[in-house]
Amino acid sequence: MPPADPATSGEPRREQLLNAADRVIQREGPGASMNAIAAEAGITKPILYRHFGDRTGLIRALTERHTGGLIAAVRAALNEPLERRDRVEHVLDTYLAGIESRPQVYRLLTHPEAGDPTGAGNALAPALKQIADEITNAVAVQVDLGPEAPLLSEAWGRGITGMVLAAGDWWLETKPCPRARMVQALADLLWGRLAAAAELPSATPPAPAAAAPAD
């Protein structure tokens, strides 16, 4: 009996192709070619294109896979029943561990290739906005920031996300210290007014957004 056409084999085959893409990108970096990914998967390039349309489609599928898992992990960390400082460190560690686990995939999703018209390098932006929304919501319902709470929770949610993105990018590139030390350094920076603010007496865990697929 001839082998089944991968294009008609459903989601498990698609996952196999994404796994192959992950492996090649981890070995070769963000510039990994469709030819190399097809060879890793043991198929021809036209079959790979049949599944994803083009390289942009493949990047979009990888983005959905990895950012979905990252968002779910950050959301879970924000809801951990920990002391506030421990929760801050846990959220920071969750994000840094996520980018550290697949550094080349992270680079693909955050750093455009020279002359790349596909938009790769901006793929993480929607996920970062969602992470900022999660942090904003967590601050708003857990911390008493007084009459300016709506403004401050929004500003902090966006500011924390941008800070951790930039610092995490630098840390991943240079690895000047172990992850635990980087977590402590960032938590120290955040700890000023956040440490002084009281807990809201009726604080409830942030309502989860739409469920994201696990990585």
Q: What pLDDT is recorded for position 7? A: 43
Give the end-to-end CA distance of the chain in Å, rounded to a whole number: 34
- The pLDDT-based confidence of 123 (bands split at 50, 70, 90) is low
Every domain of the chain and the residues it spans: 1-53, 66-215
pTM of the model: 0.76
Query: Looking at the domain covering 1-53, what would its CATH class be?
Result: mainly alpha
Task: State yes or no: pLDDT of 105 exceeds 90.
Answer: no
pLDDT tens track for 159-179: 999 999 999 999 999 999 999
- CA dihedral 174→72→90→194, nearest 10 degrees, is 100
- The pLDDT-based confidence of 212 (bands split at 50, 70, 90) is very low
Number of residues that make up the chain:
215
Can 1-53 and 66-215 be said to share one CATH topology? Answer: no
Query: Looking at the domain covering 66-215, what would its CATH class be?
Result: mainly alpha
Q: What pLDDT is recorded for position 6? A: 41
